[in-house]
């Protein structure tokens, strides 16, 4: 039987950073010791990598970026709080808001773009948080530096803005926000990032957030214990310097996007050009769940967008060339079986 | 320079479970994939190991048992809640209570024993949780099955009791509670345990809780994402069956306790006989911080009990025979330097 092609969860099919694996294997001998210093070492490496005055004190680590989002919600959301977010977007923002008793105020995308004026209009005195995913998941669309700055300038002081940049490494649009500049300018914004994508370390559960001290310190105070394990910290710290793996992964995603654009056009499927790790199929000629089920029959895992409360679309993660080819083959077979090509 | 002897943090100085390390190294190749099935596999292995009708549905996993305690507090504590606990005890219970806005009601130990009638008397309509550490940290004393059952029978329905059994594997007193029986009997009690002690996996951050469905389900609903990473889940699952390492660790701790009792008596230091991974020195003839500082000068890390809000005592974790000898040597030198032996 052919191996399953995993294009449903935005995993890095090039595999984990080899330097991270070396570090993890070396750390195994100390698996019995609490990870007392490794978190600080990781924060120092992140500080150096982020630059622009972001010191270890401006950084909070988490057990995956989902844990960072949870700590942010725990800090800024309580019963009665309103949390404003675009819809559809990554589902965790809703989940952590509801876990802490907050009300979710959803602002629909406009033509697949985040409606920044709509988000501003949704702010009330009860609003404590706004979540932005940039590039947005599952659309792969970005808001620009200029748009973000104009937006932040209009957000009132009682609202913290969280910008989830899980897919930043795959962006090639030069208009993408330089968030460190906006943090330095004093905006009340927290950036969240992950080691699960470009570094290929989804199984380790390491994420981080950064922002100005006043925004980050209360979040870090929610830390109850070690956020992650020793292997996770040392693996993440090693991955930051794995230039070869980083470049290869970015190349894989950029080349994979171009391959998919061309191949999808050839078989007559519509899609959104993406700045992220995935491509969203739109205006499908068949039922989305049917497509996902039939692709799975052919060994290819795709994602129906039900988890985003936006049924009717299919998201394809970018894999290696052979993975992407398998996805196109499956889609071609499905269209042929339905006399659509 | 001689290596530091780490007897301050109850780490397993025999090292990590070798079977766990094999499993972790094998899992490295899949470090780029989300750990989607490994949590269920671990729960099934735990269910089989715990027995007595505790199914995977009765179990909640956490990023260390500290994370389980956090989820329990998040479920049962909100501003205005009162949480009753003995003092001194493990410091995390206070921390997670305060993180969720609860008030801590402390009931002092009586002659180093947990004062169960005192805990009962402290319950009010606002009480939502009681934390018991059994054996208690840092005293190593236990409450018995009979005491626990009589206690639970008097706890009102609106209160959940959490029993932290981090050190259960080192208990040899047959009167120790059989918590599965009390769960089956229907008491509203959650047992918390960890992979950091007998399995030697402190760096992985895996802990778990179990109880009847009505107690556990709302806690598990607090799960925001994967609790732990793939390496952590598979390492923990493998460690459960590492009988050789488990037996060797338990032998190390039991033999180490006996060695320390005899050696401490010889140099005239008082201690509590312990059912746990550590021995508490009492009625010290010198300042506790001075002893800890001087031991560190000699390369031995001991624990002053300030973190338990009970200054004036020293806790010694049990290590290998050579570690325990180094501790006794250091203590002997300190006493000699002060003309106390």
Confidence of residue B51 (pLDDT cuts 50, 70, 90): very high
**How does pLDDT run across B56-75, given as a tens digit for each residue?**
999 999 999 999 999 999 99
Of the residues B216, B239, B262, which one is the last residue of a structural domain? B239
Say which of A31, A99, A228 has its CB closest to residue B222: A99
Per-residue pLDDT averaged across A214-241, rounded? 91
How do beta strands A189-194 and A5-6 pair?
unpaired
pLDDT in tens, B210-219: 999 999 999 9
Residues B28 and B42: their CA atoms lie apart, in Å, by 17
Measure A228 CA to nearest chain B CA, in Å. 7
B67 and B117 co-located in one domain: yes
Mean per-residue pLDDT of chain B:
96
Q: Please tell me the distance in Å from A84's CA to the nearest CA on chain B.
A: 19
Chain A residue with the nearest C-alpha to that of B219: A99
* Model confidence pLDDT, tens digit, residues B170-212: 999 999 999 999 999 999 999 999 999 999 999 999 999 999 9
Mean pLDDT of the residues in chain A: 96
Chain A's closest residue to B39, CA to CA, is A203
- Chain B positions touching A229 (Cβ under 8 A) are 203-205, 228-229, 231-232
| Of residues B32, B33, B224, nearest to A66 (C-beta) | B224
Cβ–Cβ under 8 Å, residues A281 and A7? no
Q: What average pLDDT does range B324-333 have in this prediction?
A: 98
DSSP string, A2-31: PPPEE-SS---TT-S-HHHHHHHHHHGGGT
Measured between beta carbons, which residues in chain B are less than 8 angstroms from residue A11? 32-34
Q: Judge whether residue B11 has pLDDT over 80.
A: yes
**Do A201 and B20 count as a contact with CB atoms less than 8 A apart?**
no
Chain B neighbors of A63, CB-CB under 8 A: 63, 67, 205, 227-228
Residue B200 is nearest to which of A6, A31, A228, comparing CB atoms?
A: A31
**A92 and A226: one domain?**
yes
Enclosing H/E stretch for B280: strand B278-282
Mean pLDDT on B156-176:
98
pLDDT at A1 over 60: no
| Residues A201 and A52 occupy one common structural domain | yes
CA distance A275 to A171: 5
Among B239, B274, B295, residue at a domain's last position: B239
- pLDDT category at B222 given cuts 50, 70, 90 is confident
Q: Do B200 and B16 contact (CB within 8 A), yes or no?
A: yes
Domain boundary among B199, B223, B239: B239
Is residue A262 domain-shared with residue A177, that is, in the same domain? Answer: no
pLDDT value at residue A210 = 98
pLDDT value of position B134: 98
Phi–psi pair at B133, nearest 5 degrees: -110, 120
Model confidence pLDDT, tens digit, residues A47-99: 999 999 999 999 999 999 999 999 999 999 999 999 999 999 999 999 999 99
Question: How far B305 CA lies from chain A's nearest CA (Å)?
Answer: 18
pLDDT of amino acid A225: 76
A247 and A234 share a domain?
A: no
* Residue of chain A whose Cα is closest to the Cα of B200: A32
Give yes or no for a contact between A292 and A303, defined as CB atoms under 8 angstroms apart. yes
Q: What is the domain range of residue A170?
A: 18-239
Considering only the beta carbons, identify the residue of A33, A99, A226 that sits closest to B205: A226
Are A107 and A255 within one domain?
no
- Position A224 scores a pLDDT of 73
Asked if A132 and A192 sit in the same domain, the reply is yes
- Find, in chain A, the residue whose alpha carbon is nearest to that of B16: A32
Say yes or no for a CB contact (<8 Å) between B31 and A202. Answer: yes
A181 and A268 inside one domain? no
Q: What pLDDT is attached to residue A2? A: 64
* Local structure of residue A306 (DSSP, 8 states): G
Taking CA atoms, what residue in B is nearest to A22?
A: B28
Q: Read off the pLDDT of each residue in A140-156 and give the average, rounded to a whole number.
A: 98
Verify that A146 and A270 share a domain, yes or no.
no
Across the A:B interface, residue pairs with CB atoms under 8 Å apart total 158
User: What pLDDT is stored for residue B223 in this prediction?
Assistant: 80
Question: With an 8 Å Cβ cutoff, are A32 and B9 in contact?
Answer: no
Nearest Cα of chain A lies from the Cα of B310 at a distance, in angstroms, of 21
Closest CA–CA distance from residue A264 to any residue of chain B (Å): 26
pLDDT in tens, A193-205: 999 999 999 999 9
CATH of the domain at A284: 3.90.1150.10
Within this chain, do residues B101 and B228 fall inside the same structural domain, yes or no? yes
> What pLDDT is recorded for position B326?
98
CA dist B242 and B127 (Å) reads: 40
Tens-place pLDDT, residues A28-47: 999 999 988 899 999 999 99
Nearest to A30 among B34, B203, B227 (CB): B203
Taking CA atoms, what residue in A is nearest to B230? A203
Upstream peptide bond of B338 is cis (omega within 30 degrees of 0): no
Domain identity same for A22 and A109: yes
Q: Does the pLDDT of residue B1 top 80, yes or no?
A: no
pLDDT over 60 at A261, yes or no: yes
Query: pLDDT (tens digit, 9 = 90+) per residue, A267-323?
Result: 999 999 999 999 999 999 999 999 999 999 999 999 999 999 999 999 999 999 999
- Which residue out of B5, B73, B205 would a mutagenesis test of the A interface target, given it has the greatest number of A Cβ atoms within 10 Å? B205
**A235 and A288 co-located in one domain:** no
* CATH number of the CATH domain containing A39: 3.40.640.10
Chain A positions touching B24 (Cβ under 8 A) are 24, 28, 31, 231
Length of chain B: 341
| Higher local confidence (pLDDT), A190 or B222 | A190
Query: Mind telling me how many Å the CA of B268 is from chain A's nearest CA?
Result: 31
**Looking at the 3D structure of chain B, how many domains does it have?**
2
Whether residue B2 is predicted with pLDDT greater than 70 in this model: the reply is: no
Of B100, B203, B239, B320, which to mutate for an interface test with A (greatest number of A Cβ within 10 Å)?
B203
CA distance B249 to chain A (A): 12
Rounded to whole angstroms, the Cα distance separating B147 from B142 reads 10
């Amino acid at each position: 039987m052919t191996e399953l092609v995993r294009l449903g969860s935005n995993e890095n099919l090039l595999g984990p950073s080899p330097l991270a694996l070396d570090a993890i294997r070396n750390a195994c001998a100390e698996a019995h010791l609490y990870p007392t210093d490794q978190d600080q070492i990781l924060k120092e490496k992140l500080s150096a990598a982020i630059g622009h005055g972001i010191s270890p004190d401006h950084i909070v680590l988490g057990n995956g970026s989902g844990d960072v989002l949870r700590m942010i919600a725990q800090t800024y959301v309580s019963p009665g709080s309103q949390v404003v977010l675009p819809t559809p977007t990554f589902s965790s923002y809703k989940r952590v808001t509801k876990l802490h008793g907050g009300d979710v105020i959803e602002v629909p995308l406009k033509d697949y773009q985040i409606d920044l004026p709509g988000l501003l209009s949704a702010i009330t005195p009860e609003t404590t948080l706004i979540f932005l995913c940039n590039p947005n998941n599952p659309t792969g669309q970005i808001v620009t530096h200029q748009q973000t700055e104009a937006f932040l300038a209009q957000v009132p002081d009682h609202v913290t803005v969280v910008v989830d940049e899980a897919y930043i490494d795959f962006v090639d649009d030069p208009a993408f926000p330089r968030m460190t500049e906006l943090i330095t300018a004093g905006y009340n914004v927290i950036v969240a990032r992950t080691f699960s994508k470009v570094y290929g370390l989804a199984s380790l559960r390491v994420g981080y957030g950064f922002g100005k001290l006043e925004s980050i310190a209360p979040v870090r105070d929610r830390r109850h214990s070690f956020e992650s394990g020793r292997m996770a910290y040392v693996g993440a710290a090693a991955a930051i310097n794995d230039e070869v793996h980083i470049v290869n992964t970015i190349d894989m995603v950029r080349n994979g996007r171009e391959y998919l654009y061309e191949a999808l056009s050839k078989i007559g499927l519509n899609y959104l050009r993406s700045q992220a790790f995935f491509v969203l199929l739109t205006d499908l000629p068949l039922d989305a769940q049917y497509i996902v089920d039939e692709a799975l029959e052919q060994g290819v895992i795709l994602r129906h967008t039900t988890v985003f409360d936006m049924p009717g679309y299919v998201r394809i993660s970018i894999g290696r060339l052979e993975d992407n080819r398998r996805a196109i083959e499956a889609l071609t077979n499905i269209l042929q079986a339905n006399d659509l090509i």
